[in-house]
Amino acid sequence: MKKILLFMTFIALLLSSCEQKKATETKETEIKAKKEAFQTTNTSKQFKTKSGKIFIITEEKPSASLSNITITPKGFTEVNNPLKMKESDPFDYALVADVNGDGFDELYVITRGAGSGSYASIYGFSSNKDKSVTPIYIPEISDDDFVKIFNGYMGHDKFYTEENRLFRKYPIYKKEDSNAKPTGGNKIIEYQLKMGESSWILEIKH
């Protein structure tokens, strides 16, 4: 009788061990699958200026909500060093336009947040007479700007160009509006590119 009980206990422990091992393997497989799903992947796109210079945008995605973006100039006469944007929102699209009117196109990279607001951000890169490329300084939106300019702003915005003018368009949300149904119409803001003390500055045109 004791031998039978010991044997049954052994079988129960063996089955329990197998189930635990199977559960562990399943969990490890799920973790591995998630890691592979968010594994760094590279995508590249090229954008050409009217003078024939190239901007190569490479995006690495270590996760679904973060990207490492590299802008590699090509064909500039003096410097073609890569410019990096680390841990930004994912790349959405890019614009090429001569907003400052100096005869040389800039590159504008638009990223978009992964959240429900789908907030857009813009990064600029200026051509220095097609000799080199430098980042454009873009001030953060201040609390005062939100009150005076970005009234009703809750994301879902889009940057676009028309005849080398840069605009930002967004739906206006009223207090009672849900995220999916803005009812305040649309607002369009124009930007201008000005030379600062040490670099170009992209600012709202008042």
Look at residue 42 in the predicted model and tell me its pLDDT. Answer: 82
d(CA 40, CA 156): 27
Residues 8, 12, 15, 21: what is their CA dihedral angle, to the nearest 10 degrees?
-140
Q: Poorest-confidence range of 14-18, 31-35, 94-98, 163-167?
A: 31-35
Look at residue 13 in the predicted model and tell me its pLDDT. Answer: 52
Helix (H) or strand (E) holding 201: strand 200-204
Look at residue 29 in the predicted model and tell me its pLDDT. Answer: 54
* pLDDT tens digits, 4-31: 544 455 555 545 555 555 555 555 555 4
- The mean per-residue pLDDT over the stretch 51-55 comes to 97
Cα four-point dihedral sign 97, 98, 100, 106: positive
Look at residue 7 in the predicted model and tell me its pLDDT. Answer: 47
Count of residues making up the chain? 206
pTM across the whole model: 0.79
d(CA 176, CA 90): 30
Nearest to 90 by CA among 134, 51, 59: 59
Cα four-point dihedral sign 30, 68, 80, 93: positive
Using the predicted structure, report yes or no on whether residue 93 has a pLDDT greater than 80.
Answer: yes
Whole-number average pLDDT of the chain: 86
d(CA 29, CA 12): 25
